[in-house]
Amino acid sequence: MKLLKRQFKVWYPKHKGPIEPDMTIMLMACARELLTTWETLKDKELITRHLASMDKLYGPGAEQRVRDYMHQVAKDERCA
C-alpha cells in the first residue's frame, strides 16, 4: 500500500506581542453583548450585576472600560 503525501498545512504566525489587543477585543465583545441585552430587556439590575463581575473576570478597571466601550458602540456602530 502506497502512503499519500500529507496535504499542505497553512502556517499562521504566532502572536508574540502584548496581550492587550486580545483583552480589548474581549472587552468590546462584552460591551456589545451587554448593550444588546440592555436594548432588549431594559433590566438595569442585570446589567449592573454583569458589569460588577467584569473586574473579577478581567482585572481592575475592566468595568469602566466596558462602560466606555458600550458608549462607543452605541454612538458609532448602532443606527438609532
Please report the pLDDT score of residue 79 as a whole number. Answer: 80
- Model pTM score: 0.73
9 in a domain, yes or no?
A: no
What's the structural domain count of the chain? Answer: 1
Please report the pLDDT score of residue 6 as a whole number. Answer: 66
Please report the pLDDT score of residue 67 as a whole number. Answer: 97
| Residue partners of 27: CB distance under 8 A and separation at least 6 | 54, 58, 62, 65, 66, 69
63 in a domain, yes or no?
A: yes
pLDDT tens sequence across 14-57: 767 765 778 899 999 999 999 999 999 999 999 999 999 999 99
Buried b (16+ CB within 10 A) or exposed e, 11-21: eeeeeeeeeee
60 in a domain, yes or no?
A: yes
d(CA 77, CA 80): 9
67 in a domain, yes or no?
A: yes
Closest to 64 in 3D by CA, of 23, 31, 16, 17: 31
Residue 67's domain comprises 25-35+44-76
1 in a domain, yes or no?
A: no
Residue 47 grid cell: 446589567
Please report the pLDDT score of residue 4 as a whole number. Answer: 66
52 in a domain, yes or no?
A: yes
